[in-house]
Amino acid sequence: MAKQTKSALGRGLGALITMDDLNTGGSSSINEIDLAKITPNPDQPRTVFDEEALDELATSIQALGVVQPITLREVSPEKYQIISGERRYRASLKAGLETIPAYVKKASDENVMEMALVENIQREDLNAIETALAFQTLIENYQLTQEKLSERIGKKRATIANFLRLLKLPAEIQMGLKDKKIDMGHAKLLLSLDEPADQLSVYELVVEQGCSVRKTEEIIAALNRENQSQSQKSVAKKYSKALTEAFQPLKQHLSSFLDTEVNLVLTEKGGGKITVAFAGQEDLEKIIQRFDAMIKK
């Protein structure tokens, strides 16, 4: 049974978000709820809880109690699910508490996830990948556009789009971002590379050398210049080969006329060179004689 207590303590989730269209009605007073009757939200955006930080919070709770209530919704009689405050809930269990102060609200599944996401973003509790996955889940599960999600959670559409792009990075880089081996600035730069192999190569170098975002930008700029140069060389080589093949009859004609091997190489601009092979002075004299004979005609 929820036990009624005083009406306000701390700022609470209500002070963090202002979304009139969310169905979050219900009592705004604080209740003491048995921890045994509470379950975490399976769609909680936050997936990583630092155990050392939880131990420190548990010690604080043992000394001072839970300063800020958590927010719950009633899912069945005397059964509650966490909307926000799972970290305080976990620490309270560690501290050996039997009850915890809580707001109990009415909320749909969609509202629960939105509220949990907003609170975690406001507190900067989520890593970039957790935030991206939460955005993706809301969009897919509730058929929201990026624009609509932007309106509901108070984030710019461009910000949402940038987070969602992180999910296109190779899994190894996503894990590195989640484990804070790199930050959002590094990840944005890696996204500027088209090839996953290049992304991984630069990522490994950044982690190994502890490169700053600025240094990473320089590395990627150098790689792009190298790739562009290689691409231009490849195109020129293919073009030259195609032109050479087009002039193959002329090459064969010259070889037959001079009775020796003739090589023909053409450039992109239409120029080129003819190379006439000779085995020795005698061969060279024969070739010159042929040219002389052709001129005299």
**pLDDT tens digits, 61-76:** 998 899 889 989 888 8
Q: How does pLDDT run across 16-46, given as a tens digit for each residue?
A: 333 333 344 444 578 899 999 999 988 777 7
Mean pLDDT over residues 183-193, rounded? 94
Whether residue 167 is predicted with pLDDT greater than 90 in this model: the reply is yes
Q: Specify which of 63-72, 78-87, 152-161, 162-171 reaches the highest per-range mean pLDDT.
A: 162-171
Q: What pLDDT sits at residue 43?
A: 74
Kindly state the tokens that stand for 222.
């150098």
Res 92: pLDDT: 95
Domain ranges of the chain: 1-126, 128-168, 175-237, 247-296
| C-alpha–C-alpha distance, residues 154 and 163, integer Å | 15
Task: Please say whether the beta carbons of 178 and 150 come within 8 A.
Answer: no
pLDDT of residue 124: 60
Residue 90 pLDDT level (bands cut at 50, 70, 90):
very high
Instruction: Give the mean model confidence (pLDDT) for residues 202-213.
Output: 93
Tens-place pLDDT, residues 110-141: 677 777 777 666 566 678 998 898 888 888 87
Burial of 69 (0-12, 13-18, 19+ CB in 10 A): buried
285 is catalytic: no
Q: Which of 74, 86, 114, 140 is catalytic?
A: 86
Q: Is the pLDDT of residue 212 over 90?
A: yes
Report the predicted TM-score, pTM, of the whole model to 2 decimal places: 0.55
Q: Between 165 and 108, name the one with better pLDDT.
A: 165
pLDDT at 178 > cutoff 70: yes
In percent, the amount of the chain with pLDDT more than 70 equals: 79
Identify which of 34, 33, 189 has the alpha carbon closest to the alpha carbon of residue 105: 33
Residue 121: its pLDDT value, please? Answer: 67
pLDDT at position 241, please? 60
Provide the 10 A C-beta neighbour count for residue 95: 20
The DSSP secondary structure of 29-88, one letter per residue, reads: SEEEEEGGGEE--TT-S-----HHHHHHHHHHHHHH--SS-EEEEEEETTEEEEEE-HHH
Alpha-carbon distances, residue 160 vs 131, 139, 154 (angstroms):
9, 11, 10
- Residue 8's pLDDT is 34
For residue 232, name the pLDDT band (cuts at 50, 70, 90): low
| Angular region, 96: left φ>0, alpha ψ -120 to 50, beta rest | left
Say which CATH topology domain 1-126 has: 3.90.1530
Q: Residue 23's pLDDT is what?
A: 40
Is the confidence at residue 98, as pLDDT, over 50? yes
